[in-house]
């Protein structure tokens, strides 16, 4: 993957073996900076536009190889699609296609021309255009095979731009930080469950936090027992792997700043437990910790940009297995809040561990807001597909803020209804709650059970069961398997919380 992104002075010579020229479909010719750089490539990019065989549709690419002195160089023209539609996700998608078009060339370095005139034509602010372009290009060069396959060779990206340094500010550095963290989330989520155990996940979280100066403590089973997290312990009880509970603190001592608790589902493998899943897609359940991974990476990213917010990250890490000591359908569990839950299916384990974690977040931190992120339900995939996450919550303002964050991040969400009718559906008969309320509205009742444990604390829920995993129809900057969805969404959300503080 690309691990170095730098800005190159617009006046200098471009020496990379590939130079990428993004153009809107309305463009008839190159903007000034691009045209000057293209002269060094015999005007190859200009010729592509002039030929009118190139329509500039989003992700349409044309690679032209030309002689440059005694070597070869490649002009890569990539379509951004029509201006009016160029939002963060589409810009990143187009640049991901540009990176993909370079795979067969096996180059190690590329240059990306970001003409201010072109960036200004997009409906998003220039800063977001540049960010999305870099993100799309860099993330498309991630290696989803964990080093086992033929890997994309690109390692360095130079940004050639006439955008003034003061506008560019920390954009390039932050895009680079974000991409590194998203790549690590993808790697964790793609790592098979025999390697990514709860202990290992907690350890990776601890290491990431240490690198980004985020305080982090990992609770052992004994610590979890002391906190009386009966639901976490029950889900963990069928596995030989001990549970862990990751507690990350960023800025927590800065008492005047708003406090957000991010809670992520960290199920390292979800066999379904005694209510075992069919085998066909069970292997994908190694990715059932994607929410927890996104939470920790988002805190690291927020810390790297020194966002003025307080953030606590809580990730219960467990493996859901049908061992001899496993919890069973019919069991009644006592959560850390003292409230009880009847288990109707051991496969609705995410809401159980999140109930304990959300209850702990509420009572221990008294935060301004709790956000939980989870690969929670198959139902959300049926309802919204794999490109849009389910969103719900008890605070309209925060739900709206999450929608704005999603637009900025290019990570789409869609709100699902949540009111007392749904909370009533998860009330128990022999317990306070039950963990399954039938197939009807299952993403909403799943969320509602978690939300019930936030009690009066404002709470937002993201169901990323569809978006955490790319089966092949994702945008071009997503590699196969884990997507890293949610990291940028949470970072943009925390930015909004910081803006409104």
Tell me the catalytic residues.
277, 351
With contacts defined by CB under 6 A, name the span among 147-155, 371-379, 390-398, 489-497 that binds ligand BES: 371-379
Among 348, 450, 454, 494, binds ligand BES (CB under 6 A): 348
Q: Which of residues 450-479 bind ligand BES (CB under 6 A)?
A: 465
Phi–psi pair at 72, nearest 5 degrees: -105, 150
Among 143, 177, 241, 347, binds Mn ion (CB under 5 A): 347
Nearer to ligand BES by Cβ, of 183 and 468: the residue is: 468
Nearer to ligand BES by Cβ, of 288 and 372: the residue is: 288
Q: How far apart are CA 291 and CA 289, in angstroms?
A: 6
* Residue 352 contacts residue 346 (beta carbons within 8 Å): no
Among 87, 187, 270, 319, binds Mn ion (CB under 5 A): 270
* Residue 12 contacts residue 158 (beta carbons within 8 Å): no
345 binds ligand BES, rule: CB under 6 A: yes
- E strands present in 419-473: 433-434, 459-463, 469-470
Nearer to ligand BES by Cβ, of 197 and 320: the residue is: 320
User: Minimal distance in Å, beta carbon 414 to ligand BES?
Assistant: 17
17 binds ligand BES, rule: CB under 6 A: no
Q: How far apart are CA 501 and CA 495, in angstroms?
A: 10
319 binds Zn ion, rule: CB under 5 A: no
Angle among Cα 292, 293, 294 to the nearest 5 degrees reads 90
CB under 5 to 8 A by kind: which of Zn ion, Mn ion, ligand BES, none does 302 bind? none
Among 349, 368, 432, 495, binds ligand BES (CB under 6 A): 349
Among 144, 264, 350, 393, binds ligand BES (CB under 6 A): 350
264 binds ligand BES, rule: CB under 6 A: no
SS3 assignment, position 260: strand
DSSP 457: S
Q: How far apart are CA 180 and CA 135, in angstroms?
A: 10
User: Minimal distance in Å, beta carbon 378 to ligand BES?
Assistant: 3
Q: What is the dihedral of CA 226, 231, 232, 234, to 10 degrees?
A: 100
Among 258, 308, 378, 428, binds ligand BES (CB under 6 A): 378
**Residue 134: which of 256, 32, 3, 284 has the closest Cα?**
3
With contacts defined by CB under 6 A, name the span among 76-84, 297-305, 369-377, 448-456 that binds ligand BES: 369-377
Nearer to Mn ion by Cβ, of 374 and 460: the residue is: 374
Q: How far apart are CA 426 and CA 235, in angstroms?
A: 19
Angle among Cα 206, 208, 214 to the nearest 5 degrees reads 75
Alpha helices in 103-170 (DSSP H): 116-121, 126-139, 165-168
Does the CA dihedral 322-336-459-311 come out positive or negative? negative
Among 204, 347, 372, 432, binds ligand BES (CB under 6 A): 347
Among 96, 379, 410, 447, binds ligand BES (CB under 6 A): 379
Centre a 10 Å sphere on the Cβ of residue 383 and count the other Cβ atoms it contains: 18
Among 38, 87, 121, 288, binds ligand BES (CB under 6 A): 288
Q: How many residues bind Zn ion, per CB under 5 A?
A: 4
Centre a 10 Å sphere on the Cβ of residue 387 and count the other Cβ atoms it contains: 18
CB under 5 to 8 A by kind: which of Mn ion, Zn ion, ligand BES, none does 436 bind? ligand BES
Nearer to ligand BES by Cβ, of 21 and 423: the residue is: 423
Binding residues for Mn ion, per CB under 5 A?
Answer: 270, 347, 349
Binding residues for ligand BES, per CB under 6 A?
Answer: 270, 288, 345, 347-350, 375-379, 381, 436, 442, 465
């Amino acid at each position: 993957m690309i691990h170095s992104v730098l800005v190159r002075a617009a006046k200098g010579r471009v020496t990379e073996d590939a130079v990428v020229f993004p153009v809107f479909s309305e463009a008839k010719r190159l903007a000034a900076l691009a045209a000057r750089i293209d002269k060094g490539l015999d005007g190859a990019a200009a010729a592509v536009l002039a030929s009118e065989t190139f329509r500039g549709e989003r992700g349409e690419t044309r690679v032209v190889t030309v002689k440059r002195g005694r070597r070869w160089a490649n002009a890569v023209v990539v379509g951004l699609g029509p201006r009016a539609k160029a939002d963060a996700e589409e810009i990143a998608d187009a640049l991901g296609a540009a990176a993909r078009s370079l795979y067969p060339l096996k180059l190690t370095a590329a240059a990306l021309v970001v003409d201010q005139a072109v960036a200004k034509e997009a409906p998003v602010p220039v800063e977001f255009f540049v960010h999305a372009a870099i993100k799309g290009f860099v993330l498309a060069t991630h290696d989803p095979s964990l080093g086992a396959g033929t890997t994309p060779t690109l390692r360095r990206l130079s940004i050639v731009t006439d955008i003034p340094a003061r506008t560019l500010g920390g954009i390039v550095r932050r895009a680079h930080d974000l991409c590194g963290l998203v790549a690590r989330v993808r790697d964790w989520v793609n790592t098979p469950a025999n390697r990514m155990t709860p202990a290992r996940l907690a350890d990776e979280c601890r290491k990431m936090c240490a690198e980004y100066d985020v305080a982090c403590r990992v609770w052992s089973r004994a610590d979890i027992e002391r906190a009386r997290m009966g639901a976490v312990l029950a889900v963990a009880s069928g596995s030989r792997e001990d549970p862990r509970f990751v507690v990350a603190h960023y800025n927590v001592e800065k008492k005047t700043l708003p406090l957000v608790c991010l809670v992520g589902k960290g199920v390292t493998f979800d066999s379904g437990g005694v209510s075992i899943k069919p085998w066909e897609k069970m292997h994908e359940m190694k990715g059932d910790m994607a929410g927890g991974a996104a939470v920790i990476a988002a805190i690291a990213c927020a810390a790297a940009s020194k966002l003025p917010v307080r953030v606590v990250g809580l990730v219960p890490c467990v493996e859901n297995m049908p061992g001899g000591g496993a919890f069973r359908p019919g069991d009644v569990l006592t959560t850390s809040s003292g409230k009880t839950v009847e288990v109707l299916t051991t496969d609705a384990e995410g809401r159980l561990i999140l109930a304990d974690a959300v209850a702990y977040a509420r009572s221990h931190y008294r935060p301004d807001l709790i956000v939980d992120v989870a690969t929670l339900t198959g139902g959300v995939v049926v309802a919204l597909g794999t490109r849009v996450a389910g969103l719900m919550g008890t605070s309209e303002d925060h739900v709206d803020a999450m929608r704005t964050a999603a637009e900025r991040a290019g990570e789409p969400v869609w709100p699902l209804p949540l009111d007392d009718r749904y909370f009533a559906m998860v009330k128990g008969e022999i317990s306070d709650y039950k963990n399954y309320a039938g197939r009807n509205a299952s993403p909403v009742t799943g969320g509602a059970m978690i939300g019930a444990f936030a009690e009066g604390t404002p709470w937002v829920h993201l169901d990323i069961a569809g978006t955490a995993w790319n089966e092949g129809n994702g945008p071009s900057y997503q590699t196969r398997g884990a997507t890293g969805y949610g990291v940028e969404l949470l970072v943009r959300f925390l930015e909004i919380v910081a803006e409104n503080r």
